[in-house]
Structure 1
Amino acid sequence: MPIDRPAPGRPHVTAAVLAGGVGARMGGPRPKQLLPLAGRTILERSVAAFCAAPQVDEVVVVMVPDLVAEAEKIVAEGGHGKVSRIVPGGASRSDSSRAALRAVAHRGGGDLVLLHDAARPLVSGRIIASCVAALAEAGAVGVAVPSSDTVVEVAADTRGHEVIRSVPDRAVLRRMQTPQGFRLDVIRRAHERALADPGFVATDDCGVVLRYLPEEPVRIIPGEEGNIKVTHPGDVAVAEVLLRTLEEER
């Protein structure tokens, strides 16, 4: 498929849409990324958001291995020309991220990659643009929103009941979203070190950088409450309401 070429001197930007999980918490027979959301699958909506972003030159999809052919059909029927390849994911989030990095192994270390959960189909153009812009100065960028709830740390008491251990200051807490953006040399080094430490299980890629490249600051840019992650059955209905609201505002 034809891929947009960046302007001379500008890093090539690849967005990797990570759809390699089976969505066990959703509880349905199909992975959540293939569920319909207002007439299009969640996967297609996530892919379309990055294909529409002028800052993104190429899109790679990481899919459940048994469903790569179905993802190829969805992308082809949707006419998403920036998608260069669809590759099988792994057993964990980190495995799928590394599959995405292998797919862009031919890119230079100064090029950029955005790693995005396919289950966040309402990511906005503003977030994508801000993430890419921040990578002009930072090697790693996370998207986050302030926590409106009090977050507590818990522990088990002598009878096995959960009790509050501490109450962190809410002012310094954030809820992470995606995409998460990186210079390729940064995220490659972080994952190379993570591979040598199989005891650590990462839930996102900024966490991998934080642990294995502590000298590399992870810049935070503002996310949006509408950039929700579809995790539980009720989240689809919430996403549909948010989508209708966004369409009415346009």
Structure 2
Amino acid sequence: MTAMPPSSPDEPLQPQRFFAVVPAAGVGKRMGADRPKQYLVLRGRTLIEHTLERLCGFTPIERVIVALAAEDPYREGIAILNSSRVLCCEGGAERCHTVHSALNSLAGIAADSDWVLVHDVARPCVRVEDLQRLLDRLQGHPVGGLLGVPVWDTMKRTASDDQVIGTVDRQHLWRAYTPQMFRYGVLRDALSAVLARGELVTDEAAAIEAAGLKPLLVEGAQDNIKVTRPEDLALAEFYMAQQEAGQS
């Protein structure tokens, strides 16, 4: 697979179009809740509502594709899922299957050179400034990239029994966040190739890397956390309050 080269100065500039994909078919086992974590309530609304409102409120994004579990009983009453800017589709067994399904839903809508921003449904604190920074940094990039944060903690590697077997050099190590933004055709083909080999990837950048391409890491805000465990809900609420108060 080859990346799409940027337009040359002599070629007419094609208008850039942006779409978002939100995989929301997971069950969130680590939360230990009675429902998938995207339907847990945070500040009076569900996580999925907070996340979709931030994406839908970002003007450059034309449409948001939300991939839900088949026969999802919790989607009823989530008004934003019925928005004209939101298109729902059925997800799959793993995240990569779910994202692939959402990309297939964009067939005939998105051109290969358009951009797709894949964002975790459980990252409700993503900042508009970070979305704009991602678009600005990747403008003209042939492949795409992702938000991330450099690792500052000391990193340890362990054996299967949790005994430390070494300290990992943290220089050039990053925490991978979302959105992860790639050309539609490049990401679709990369994920298709991975799944055809029977492999699984935990994020879109890994599929891009497997295709021999190099995503660009764009530093974002550390409060763009992923709600994974029960204590993360309180932390997300704290960060949202700080954002509203303009304190961070």
State the TM-score, normalized to the length of structure 1. 0.87
- Secondary structure of the equivalent of 1:177? strand
Whole-Å Cα distance in 2 between the matches of residues 51 and 26 of structure 1? 26
Q: Which runs of 5+ in 1 are unaligned?
A: 1-7
Matches within 5 A, 1:1-250: 9-67=14-72, 70-71=74-75, 73-76=77-80, 80-83=83-86, 85-106=87-108, 107-138=110-141, 139-156=143-160, 161-198=161-198, 200-211=199-210, 213-214=211-212, 216-249=213-246
Number of residue-to-residue matches in the alignment: 233
Match of 1:3 in 2: none
- Secondary structure of the equivalent of 1:171? coil
- Secondary structure of the equivalent of 2:168? coil
Q: Could you give the per-residue CA deviations for residues 156-176 of structure 1, whole angstroms, max 9, x where no partner exists?
A: 4xxxx3333332221211111
Q: Which runs of 5+ in 2 are unaligned?
A: 1-12
Cα gap change, 1:80 to 1:134, in 2 (>3 Å): farther
Whole-Å Cα distance in 1 between the matches of residues 43 and 242 of structure 2? 12
Whole-Å Cα distance in 1 between the matches of residues 163 and 173 of structure 2? 20
Q: Could you give the per-residue CA deviations for residues 116-169 of structure 1, whole angstroms, max 9, x where no partner exists?
A: 11000011111111222233232121111011211122224xxxx333333222
Partner AA of 2:238 in structure 1:
V
- Secondary structure of the equivalent of 1:43? helix
Whole-Å Cα distance in 1 between the matches of residues 238 and 228 of structure 2? 16
Q: Is the 8 A contact 1:90 1:99 kept in 2?
A: yes
- Secondary structure of the equivalent of 2:50? helix
Q: Is the 8 A contact 1:145 1:225 kept in 2?
A: yes
**Higher helix proportion:** 1
- Secondary structure of the equivalent of 1:66? coil
State the TM-score, normalized to the length of structure 2. 0.88
TM-aligned CA deviation for residue 80 of structure 1: 4.3
- Secondary structure of the equivalent of 2:55? helix
What RMSD, in angstroms, separates the aligned Cα atoms of the two structures?
1.8
TM-aligned CA deviation for residue 71 of structure 1: 3.0
